[in-house]
A and B are shown apart, each in its own frame.
Chain A
Amino acid sequence: MGVRRGERWIVRHVDITVDRGQLIYLIGANGAGKSTCAKAILGLLDIDEGTIERMSSLEVGYVPQRLALNPTLPLTVRRLMTLTGRFPKDHIESALAAVGLDRLGDPPVTTLSGGEFQRLLLARALIHRPDLLVLDEPAQGVDTAGSGVVLDLIQGIRRDLRCGVLLISHDLHAATSTGDDVVVLVPHEHDEPPPARPDPPAHLSRREARKL
């Protein structure tokens, strides 16, 4: 599949298959189009060529790279868990326990550390019991030890839920040692050089403009 912005291809000739229980890494330099790929797979972007095939009734869990919260919106840890669906209390508890946040009480999410918030987003995705889990650089902004913890969590979730995992990462070393397959995006050489960032500003402002 490929995604084009204007005349320029952001990504092209990408071929990814994620089977149940597999951990697939999507690796690439800044600007190679990793996030664009992920958004296309999630159905957040329309693709300009190729096809995306999904298992019927595929439940997808998505952990975004970052989430900017407006502090005027009061949200606690447990309220965030039911943001996109209603779930029984014990499901919430077990999802929080899976990422080690169950003994935190119910504090406002604004008081969480970066790593805790990232794990909360992971718990929020897995409460949907996804068949496919897509994580956009979950270890970003976390130190090396922290990224190991995140990776262990993801491995555990993959075993427990038997879900496919698509993990966007910079870490080629972790990818080759733990991944079932590694997809490396290289900047497109047939036409113009790739944009300097995975999300060029024009694209960002467009998405932000979606606020009504």
Chain B
Amino acid sequence: MLDDFLIRALLAGIGIAMVAGPAGCFIVWRRLAYFGETIAHSALLGVAIAVLVNLHLVIGIFVTAVVVVLAMYYLERRDTLPTDTLLGLLSHGGLAVGLVLLSFFPDMRLDLQGLLFGDILAVSRLDLAVVWGGGAIALGMLWWIWRPLLAATVSPDLATVARLHPERALLVFGILLAAVIAAAIKIVGVLLIVALLIIPSATVRRFTSSPEQMAAGAAVAGVIAVAGGLLASATLDTPSGPSIVVTALAVFLVTRLGRPRREVNAR
């Protein structure tokens, strides 16, 4: 039953979800959903650049996303425009430039639908290696910056006084996010990738009492959503990205059905 392409897609998806869960927790804690969208939208520009200079798509997307992260990091400190305006500029600017560039290659056999919504047929052996290799590096980086990043999330001032270099941790996290999004584009697509970051962590929040529990729980919830969504996609012939997000949403709603668990005060 399980064709080879489906196994590859499943393995890639599980690899992505295991990183996207913990990374997504910081998206939720730091209210960075729009920042994630901006990186995702810039991916189309990354695709155009990858086509222009003949790079692997994931590498092109990653490099472009890192440039966007660095631009955002710089602009936030130098410019007086509000953060969401800057994000809007970069997000839609990147998307538009990417689409215009791609229109110069009408002969390119580029599956725009697949880019926007994900395509499980598209996962090659090389992609799988890129996802698992990159994912392992990303998890290692997250482990390394965990304490500074968490402290910076609670209070940048406290983190600075404790000499944890919160700015550095935030920059590393931005690059990590670029890597996760670049790796996930093929399976989930540009438009829905942020859902894979935030829905799993939102799902497990009320069952957890520490940041570390929530990160691990989000990884598990993400793996369930990806596996369920990809199997549904293969059986029902639905696009993979939306199928994964619908599954994640269904899991989220099911966990909301029960009586809300109050935070237990140990006194």
Contact = CB atoms under 8 A, between A and B. Distances in A.
Contact of A74 (B202, B209, B264): B209
A72 B28 contact: yes
B210 A74 contact: yes
Given A107-B266, A210-B156, A73 B211 contact: yes
B8 interface: no
A72 to B, nearest CB: 5
Nearest to A76: B209
A52 interface: no
A118 to B, nearest CB: 14
Of the listed residues B72, B158, B159, B202, the one surrounded by the most CB atoms of chain A closer than 10 A to its CB is B158
Contacts of A42: 157, 160-161
A54 interface: no
Interface string B144-160: 00010011011111111
B215 to A, nearest CB: 10
A76 B264 CA distance: 11
Interface stretch (A78-86, A147-155, A157-165, A181-189): A78-86
A5 interface: no
Contact of B157 (A61, A64, A86): A64
A97 interface: no
Contacts of A76: 209-210
B155 A75 contact: no
Of the listed residues A42, A43, A74, the one surrounded by the most CB atoms of chain B closer than 10 A to its CB is A74
Interface string B210-229: 11011000000000000000
B173 interface: yes
Contacts of B264: 107
Given A74-B205, A209-B77, A211-B30, 20 more contacts: A44-B157, A44-B160, A62-B158, A69-B154, A70-B29, A70-B30, A72-B29, A72-B202, A73-B153, A76-B209, A83-B147, A83-B151, A84-B159, A84-B162, A104-B267, A105-B266, A108-B265, A212-B35, A212-B170, A212-B171
Interface of B: 28-32, 35, 72-73, 76-77, 82-83, 147, 150-151, 153-162, 164, 167, 170-171, 173-174, 202, 205, 208-211, 213-214, 263-267
26 contacts: A42-B160, A44-B157, A44-B160, A60-B161, A64-B155, A67-B158, A70-B29, A70-B31, A70-B153, A73-B153, A74-B209, A74-B211, A74-B214, A75-B154, A75-B210, A84-B151, A104-B267, A107-B267, A108-B263, A110-B263, A111-B263, A205-B82, A209-B77, A211-B170, A212-B35, A212-B171
Smallest CB-CB A-B distances: 5 pairs: A105-B266, A84-B162, A212-B170, A62-B161, A73-B29
